[in-house]
Every structure is written in C-alpha cells, then in structure tokens.
Amino acid sequence: MLFNFNNTYADKLDGFYTPVQSAKVPKAKIIKVNTELAAKLGLNLNNLSKKKQTEIFSGNIAPDGASPIAQVYAGHQFGGFVPQLGDGRALLLGEIIDDKGARFDIQLKGSGRTPYSRAGDGKSALGPVLREYIVSEAMYALGIPSTRALAAVTTGENVMRNQQYLPSAVFTRVAASHIRVGTFQYFAARGEINKVQQLADYTIDRHYPNIKQEANETENPYLSLLIAITDAQASLVAQWMCVGFIHGVMNTDNMTVSGETIDYGPCAFMDYYSPDTVFSSIDRHGRYAYQNQPPITQWNLARLAETLLPLIDENTEHAIELATNALDKFPEKYTEHWLAGMRAKIGLSIVEENDLALINDLLAAMDGQQVDFTLLFRNLADLLQGQEQEVYAQFKDASLFKVWVERWRERLSHETQNTDESIQLMYQKNPIYIPRNHKVEEALEAAVSHADYSKFEVLINTLSNPYQPQEGKEEYTQPAPNELSVYKTFCGT
C-alpha cells in the first residue's frame, strides 16, 4: 500500500465536496516521481512496481484507502465574485500523516471532469504541469511555504488550448490542505453560517490547534483564526517579495488558509527590478503586479474576514470593529517580516530604525536601471569581498547606487558581527538559482515539443540547492539574453 490514508475532510465535512472518480487515460507514462519528497512523507515506493506507480499517479486506479473527492469553493477572480468554482480538474485522493505527525493532502490535478468543471475539460496541459512542478519545488527549496510536487505523468492524450492540441499530463500535488479563502466564501455567500463555523473549527484543528488549546471563555477563537491566517499570509507574501516571486493570479480561490503558496499558474520570478512587473497575460490591468501583492493579500484577507463576522460576534458592528482591527495590523506585520528578510539580504543582523529607509533607497536606486533583482544581492556580497566591478556594471547609471553603498558600509560598521559574517549571511539568504523564465521556458519547450525531459531534470536538480554555487551551472545564474527578456506567461492550464 502506497498511502496510509486518514481522510478527515471526506469523513467530517459532508456537504463540502462531491465524490468523483478520476478519468482513465490511454497511455500513462511517468515523467518524474519525487523520491526525496516520497521518502520525507514515509511513502514506500520501493515495494511498488513502476507499472503500479504509473497507474496511481495517472489516476487510472485509485490507491487503496483513497476517497477521491472534488472540493467545492467560490472566489473573487480579478475582483469579481464567482459564487461557485471548486475543483474542476482536480481530486483530493486523501490525507496522509508523515512521521513527524504532519497531515498532508494528496491531490491529483488534471484527472478529469468533476461537477465543478463548468466548460472545462478537467485536464491539464503538460507545460503548466511541468511549470508547477519546477516552481513549487523551487519555492520549497528556497524555504518558502509551498505545496509540493510528488509526481508528473503524461497521459497519451492531447488537450485543446489556445486553438492548439497539446499533450496532457496529471500532476500529483502535496499540500498542508487545500482549504482556500474561497472555501469559506462559498458557504458564507449561501448564508450557511453553520458550515462556515464547521470549516473554521476544522481549520483551527488542522492548522492552528493552539487557538483551541489557549482559548478560554473570554477569548474569541474565530477572531484568533483570522489573526493567525493574517500572520501566516503576511509572512508568506513578505517571502515572495524578498525573492521577486510574482504569483500572477492571487484570486481568493488561489489563497490558502494554511499559509502555503498554491496554484502555480502564470507565475514567474521578476528578472530586473521594477515594482510594477506583471508577467501573466490574463492580468491585463496589473492587479497582481509585484508591488501590489501585499495590498492584494490584505484585500483577500478582508474577504475572509467577512465570512467570519457572524462567528466573531453576534453584534455585527462589534464584529466588524474586531475584524477591522485585526486586518489593520496587516501592513505592520508584513513590513516586519519583509524588513527582517531584506535586512538579512544586505547582511544586517541587528535592528536599527533607519534600516527601512536604507532598504527602500537601495530599491529606489535599482528602479529603472534594469538591475537583475537576484544577482544584485549576490553581487553586493561580492562587493564586500572586494569584487566591485560586477555590481556597478549592473547599473546604467550607478551614481545613486554609489552613494547608497557608502551609507550601507557605514551601517555595516555598526554590526556586532564582522564583515565575513555579514558576507556569509548574504550568501545564505540570497539565492543564486531561481527558476529563471527563459530556463523554465526552454525546459518546457523541449518537453512539450520533443518529449525531451533532460533540461527539466537539470533545472529541477539545480533549483533544489538554490543558495550554493554549483559547478557548470553558470548559465542558470544569468538573466535572459536581451532578445528573450520580454516575457509573458499564459494561463493555458
């Protein structure tokens, strides 16, 4: 038996899903099984033939103990409320518990139609499956909370996307849970307050058990839940910002209550620093641009808060006041997380009041200069080692930056750690390898057009160790050549 399922969502939350069997596919073939993750989850792949693995990860057979369900949810998509979305091409097979006692969902994505498919075919194209594999694993390796990739399998079928037939694939995703802001919204919009409460209780038990343990009669567990999710999301989006990650579709149905990054669609890492960067072709107005991600997170949390109001207090005005107070703390919490991350990125270990201005001034000096966001911070560490040329060469006009370097050096002199320690901190906190858009595209193109997965494999391996220079991997550290630098990601999922 591969999974030792223990299915609480299916068992406890009747009315929150529809049981569905996955579609059969004609010619399943494994692209990759994440053996490192499997081992971490205590899954015994060794006892399972390749054929059986293929059947399970393609959805051709349901593994023993599975209770496949499509979860229902709603969501604000680009600001407009859609009262019913749900798993239109995904199935939760069940939950497992790892050896540390942590519970994970095992989900198939691209496994066929469900009652929530609307006009969709329930399938996933190969390209987006590989993109999610690459980027979610890269996020995990960077230390950022994320769903993970357990397997990817081609199906032998084609799907139609943008008037083209493309090979399709099934992705196996591992997540702390798939409860979304939109899951709360679905029941709240229908006026099913009991179900909102049931979901809130379930979420507390599963993700924030301390709330119940700490609660006494005077405390308000649902307000505490809102505060806990606000904290988790403030921390998450701060980590995105520190590595230049742009999610692309921060709809409320794509935001977890666990605080993990989920639903890698038209996501991408910013190459040169520009706060209004947008990659997604569907984000025409830049709603989910790089710099908008923190305020959008707060906006999404406000939608969550609305669903919890009747649980927070019977008196609506009082409930609104309590929830507003909780949400108003978001910018402060976000800044605290972001500042901690950015301080480390420039080698600072102690806290000084002017650090915020110092960091903002660095970003201002980078803006409009086509400075590579990832390389810059590695180059700053190099600069402290006496290699100044590369960092200055990144700027079209380095005059502002030069002035900033002097201020930074002065600030570093206040540190209790020595310069070597600052340099080490910077090398530890600033990745050298991120999923660069042209490298992701190159790997996807070889796989989709030529069934050549070698570039995908090398990319995955390189990104699994993002802070350590690796021999022969220089091409993965560099920005795209100019002719490739105008980049768009398409939602063609």
Q: Which residue has the closest beta carbon to Mg ion?
A: 263
Distances (CA, A) of 139 to 100, 294, 433: 21, 18, 11
Q: Which is nearer to Mg ion, 87 or 271 (CB)?
A: 87
Are 53 and 33 contacting, i.e. CB atoms less than 8 angstroms apart?
yes
Place of tokens 């919009």: 189
Q: Does the protein bind Mg ion through residue 263 (CB under 5 A)? A: yes
Residue 218, Cβ neighbours under 10 Å: how many? 5
Please classify residue 354 by burial: count the beta carbons closer than 10 Å to its beta carbon, then call 0-12 exposed, 13-18 middle and 19+ buried: exposed
The closest alpha carbon to 233, from 96, 334, 375, 111, belongs to 334
Q: Does the protein bind Mg ion through residue 254 (CB under 5 A)? A: yes
Q: Which is nearer to Mg ion, 154 or 254 (CB)?
A: 254
The closest alpha carbon to 6, from 66, 90, 71, 91, belongs to 66
* Stretch in the footprint of Mg ion (CB under 5 A) among 96-104, 259-267, 301-309, 452-460: 259-267
Place of tokens 């808060």: 305
Q: Which of 87, 105, 231, 253 is catalytic?
A: 253
Q: Which is nearer to ligand AMP, 135 or 228 (CB)?
A: 135
Minimum Å gap between C-beta 73 and ligand AMP is 7
Residues engaged in binding ligand AMP (CB under 6 A): 85-89, 116-117, 120-123, 249, 253-254, 263, 265, 493
Minimum Å gap between C-beta 131 and ligand AMP is 12
95 contact choice in Mg ion, ligand AMP, none (CB below 5 to 8 Å, kind-dependent): none
Minimum Å gap between C-beta 189 and Mg ion is 17
The contacts of residue 45 (CB under 8 Å, 6+ apart) are: 2, 33, 35, 38, 53
Q: Which is nearer to ligand AMP, 116 or 404 (CB)?
A: 116
Minimum Å gap between C-beta 261 and ligand AMP is 13
122 contact choice in Mg ion, ligand AMP, none (CB below 5 to 8 Å, kind-dependent): ligand AMP
The closest alpha carbon to 174, from 200, 153, 151, belongs to 151
Q: Which is nearer to ligand AMP, 59 or 86 (CB)?
A: 86
Minimum Å gap between C-beta 231 and ligand AMP is 24
253 is catalytic: yes
Amino acid at 406: E
The closest alpha carbon to 132, from 248, 234, 231, belongs to 248
Q: Which is nearer to ligand AMP, 117 or 370 (CB)?
A: 117
CA distance 272 to 396: 12
Are 341 and 235 contacting, i.e. CB atoms less than 8 angstroms apart?
no
Minimum Å gap between C-beta 417 and ligand AMP is 43
121 contact choice in ligand AMP, Mg ion, none (CB below 5 to 8 Å, kind-dependent): ligand AMP
* Stretch in the footprint of Mg ion (CB under 5 A) among 203-211, 228-236, 249-257, 391-399: 249-257
Place of tokens 């802001």: 181
* Stretch in the footprint of Mg ion (CB under 5 A) among 248-256, 308-316, 320-328, 329-337: 248-256
The closest alpha carbon to 412, from 400, 425, 393, belongs to 425
Strand partners, 167: 158
User: Which chain residues interact with Mg ion by CB under 5 A?
Assistant: 254, 263
Give the catalytic positions in this structure: 253
